[in-house]
Amino acid sequence: MKITIQLRGSLTKYFQGEKVRSVEVPDNCTAEEALKTVGIDWTAIRNFGFVAVNSRRVMIYDRLKEGDELKAYPKISGG
Amino acid sequence: MTMLGYQNKVLRVDLTKKGATTEPLRMDWAENYIGSKGLAIKYLYEELKPGIDPLSPDNKLLLMTGPMTGTPVPCSGKLSISAKSPATGTINDCSIGGHSALQIKYAGYDAIILEGALKEPGYLLIEDGNIQFKDANELWGKGSHVAEATLAEKYGHDYSILSIGPAGENLVTMACINSDYYRQAGRGGIGAVMGSKKLKAIVIKGTGGVKIPNIVENTKKITEILRADVLQEDNTFIYDFGTTAFLEACSDGGILPRKNFSDTTDENWTKYNGDVLLEKRVGKRGCGSCGLGCGNFLKFENATVEGPEYESIAVAGPNAGIDDPEAIVKFNQIADDMGLDTISAGDTINFAMEMTEKGVHDFGIKFGDKVKYLEYLELMAKREGVGADLALGVKKLTEKYGGEDYALHVKGLEYPQYEPRGSWGMSLAYAVSDRGACHMRAYAPNEEVFAASIPPYTAEGKGELVYNLGVFNAVKFSLCICDFWATLSYERMAELMTLITGREWTEQEMKDVGVRVLNIARAFNQREGFDRKDDTIPKRLVNEALQSGAAAGQKIPQEAFEDMLDQYYTVIGWDKNGMIPDNILCQL
């Protein structure tokens, strides 16, 4: 299925500086699996933060649908 | 052994008698509380009698540096300004950026303690060991920006100037202390304490230095720490974006409040987000000894500010129903000049908007009214017209007119802009914070929301989470290291303390300091009569479920909150009523 992946902050380096890409991912895959498709293993990124689908935070193992916009954030610390 | 990094000198100023003396720093206390936050609270615990009126001459205003202030340690330029809070009656330690901390240290002092009160408006001029009491009648009534510019013109731009605006002069309990025009000791009415002493400003310049061991070798080590630790992308995002970076994350995370915390997220957030605001960036700035440079100068046609920070954007943006970026920036600029805490001032006006819309009391302003939003700031600072009521803050307005169901504060300090129904641990963090609802004591969203696999909508484990975050920040802010050095660790803190003081410090000692600081702050409040009944969750969070965003459907059951409170008290060693047992009290 086709989805959009947006990267924020320092994570854009995984898209060579681009912020957004349309990608083909397995049907009904999880956010984690979708990121793996584009070479992003969140467990190996020390400052990986969280993911949102269609501008709503989800858990990394939540499943995606056709046309979803998946956003990945680095950790942002502070107050 | 004698620790280096300290000047081993306190300047004690008697404003009533217009006299000043110096005394040694209590190094025995410094061993246990380090400096800044921790040492300031220890001093106030020992020197203030319980039950004093925070706006009386009996209160003391402490300006406390840390051992790293004025050294090459990055992110060490903040100053703790502390007193008993007139907003809450609790201990209140604030942290201000800029350069005044360095000037105080270079003048030869670890701390300045201000006692008593002037009879007429005045300002202090401190030039190393020379202390002068000056007349401020011509500055009284002026905005903080004009006052600072006037004094800078008179003495030189190489002086640091701490000042209050009309809000502090009029004893508004959400008044702040300003420095470098756009940096604040913001919360809890610290500016009103300064105003109660009729002190308009402190002008200070120091020409000395700070001794550290093996200065050449240790400076090299510290520079390597800057390169390897501070200047990595986990921290440097704050240079690129400032705290505007938090807006989209909080909106997606379901914790960006809207219309007085009645809901979350805002479909209009792209009108005032970081991309829009930073298009107007004309300059950058950092504090003394910084390394990260979070400050952004923005210039719109009719508004200029260093900022705005996330809190100010959120409170004057979606939480007010406003989506005009220039209006948000103007709000920040006026609040700074008037000397008002943007969080408390904005929250109070937002509460007034809801009261008006619900027909409970007409404050003459509804959500989205960006014109009156700006007008009301000056009225609040001067206690004029409707401002006389609004200056009271949310808690006292509730007591006067009602609206408790949607009044968001703890102990009288208004809520920061992180919605706890989307981050349950934050409701606990706000409740047990030493000065009322503060987001800087234990920043739970970092672990609950901005993390991929930790569930935010549960009470499980949140007591330990808030305890661990609170201990860490308590020692971090006693060192005094800026919050934005996000990758700082206990190990690093111990390493820096060893490099700067010449005494070996361990990670465990750092943790012990953090726990001790949490306890001394609680002991101060306990002595003032605070206990479990004051560690509260606002009714709105318990009774109303969010309608929108990632946390749609969430509210926090009272029993879940009580469970989180029980967990916290257990892990920190307090009893079921939130009281510190005698065996811990006697060690403080």
Distance of alpha carbon B360 from alpha carbon B342, whole angstroms: 24
Taking CB atoms and an 8 Å cutoff, what residues of chain A touch B453? 59-61
Q: What is the Cα Rg of chain A in Å?
A: 12
| Residues in B lying within 8 Å of A, measured between beta carbons | 233-235, 237-238, 241, 243, 245-246, 248-249, 251-254, 265, 416, 439-440, 443, 446, 449-453, 455, 483-484, 486, 549-550
Q: Which of A8, A49, A78 sits opposite B451 (nearest CB)?
A: A49
Provide the token pair at B366. Answer: 């509804």
Taking CB atoms and an 8 Å cutoff, what residues of chain B touch A9? 233, 237, 241, 245
For residues B260 and B385, membership in a common domain is answered with yes
In a domain, B231, yes or no: no
For residues B380 and B461, membership in a common domain is answered with no
For residues B375 and B482, membership in a common domain is answered with no
What's B579's DSSP letter?
P
**Which residues, other chains included, contact A6 with Cβ-Cβ below 8 Å and sequence gap of 6+?**
A19, A20, A69, A70, A71, A72
In a domain, B75, yes or no: yes
**Residue of B184, B237, B481 to mutate for A, most A C-beta atoms under 10 A:** B237
**Which residues, other chains included, contact B313 with Cβ-Cβ below 8 Å and sequence gap of 6+?**
B244, B247, B272, B277, B328
> Which residue, of B163, B184, B205, is where some domain finishes?
B205
**Which residues, other chains included, contact B173 with Cβ-Cβ below 8 Å and sequence gap of 6+?**
B85, B86, B87, B188, B189, B192, B391, B392, B393, B412
Taking CB atoms and an 8 Å cutoff, what residues of chain B touch A60? 452-453
Cβ of B450 within 8 Å of Cβ of A50? The answer is yes
pLDDT along chain B (588 residues), means of 10: 93 98 98 98 98 98 97 95 98 96 98 98 98 98 97 97 98 97 95 98 98 96 94 86 89 96 90 91 91 90 92 97 96 97 98 98 98 97 98 98 98 98 97 97 91 84 96 96 92 97 97 98 98 98 97 97 98 98 94
Main-chain phi, psi angles of B35, to 5 degrees: -175, -165
> What confidence score (pLDDT) does residue A75 get?
84
Provide the token pair at B278. Answer: 């930073």
**Which residues, other chains included, contact B375 with Cβ-Cβ below 8 Å and sequence gap of 6+?**
none
Q: Are strands B304-306 and B111-115 parallel, antiparallel or unpaired?
A: unpaired
Domain span at residue B191 reads: 10-205
Domain total of chain B: 3
In a domain, B417, yes or no: no
Cβ of B249 within 8 Å of Cβ of A76? The answer is yes
What 3-state DSSP class applies to B269?
Answer: helix
Burial class (CB in 10 A: 0-12, 13-18, 19+), B2: exposed
CATH code of B98's domain: 3.60.9.10
CATH code of B544's domain: 1.10.599.10
**Which residues, other chains included, contact B234 with Cβ-Cβ below 8 Å and sequence gap of 6+?**
A10, A46, A47, A74, A75, A77, B486, B487
What residues of chain A, 2 to 21, have a C-beta less than 8 Å from chain B?
Answer: 8-10
In a domain, B215, yes or no: no
Q: Which of A47, A50, A76 sits opposite B245 (nearest CB)?
A: A76
For residues B198 and B280, membership in a common domain is answered with no
Is the N-terminal amide bond of B308 cis, ω within 30° of 0?
yes
In a domain, B432, yes or no: yes
Q: Which of A46, A50, A78 sits opposite B452 (nearest CB)?
A: A50
> What confidence score (pLDDT) does residue B455 get?
84
For residues B359 and B265, membership in a common domain is answered with yes
- Is this complex's ipTM strictly greater than 0.85? yes
Spatial contact of B124 and B132, defined as CB atoms under 8 Å apart: yes
Continuous segment of H or E residues that includes residue A69: strand A69-74
Cβ of B252 within 8 Å of Cβ of A61? The answer is no
> What confidence score (pLDDT) does residue A10 get?
85
For residues B80 and B186, membership in a common domain is answered with yes
In a domain, B348, yes or no: yes
In a domain, B233, yes or no: no
**A34 reaches B (C-beta below 8 A):** no
For residues B167 and B38, membership in a common domain is answered with yes
Cβ of A74 within 8 Å of Cβ of B233? The answer is yes
Taking CB atoms and an 8 Å cutoff, what residues of chain B touch A56? 252, 254, 549-550
> What confidence score (pLDDT) does residue B452 get?
65
Could you report the per-residue pLDDT of A17-66, keeping only the tens digit for each?
Answer: 899 999 999 999 999 999 999 999 999 998 899 999 999 999 899 999 99
**Residue of B233, B252, B266, B343 to mutate for A, most A C-beta atoms under 10 A:** B252
What 3-state DSSP class applies to B476?
Answer: helix
Domains detected in chain A: 2-74 (3.10.20.30)
Taking CB atoms and an 8 Å cutoff, what residues of chain A touch B449? 50, 57
> Which residue, of B346, B370, B402, is where some domain finishes?
B402
For residues B198 and B64, membership in a common domain is answered with yes
Task: Give the gap in angstroms from C-alpha A1 to the nearest C-alpha of chain B.
Answer: 23
Asked if the model's pLDDT at residue A78 lies above 80, the reply is: no
For residues B149 and B71, membership in a common domain is answered with yes
Q: Which of A8, A10, A60 sits opposite B452 (nearest CB)?
A: A60
For residues B577 and B472, membership in a common domain is answered with yes
Cβ of B550 within 8 Å of Cβ of A58? The answer is yes
Distance of alpha carbon B189 from alpha carbon B175, whole angstroms: 5
For residues B379 and B497, membership in a common domain is answered with no
Taking CB atoms and an 8 Å cutoff, what residues of chain A touch B265? 55
Taking CB atoms and an 8 Å cutoff, what residues of chain B touch A79? 416, 439-440, 443, 483
In a domain, B216, yes or no: no
For residues B263 and B313, membership in a common domain is answered with yes
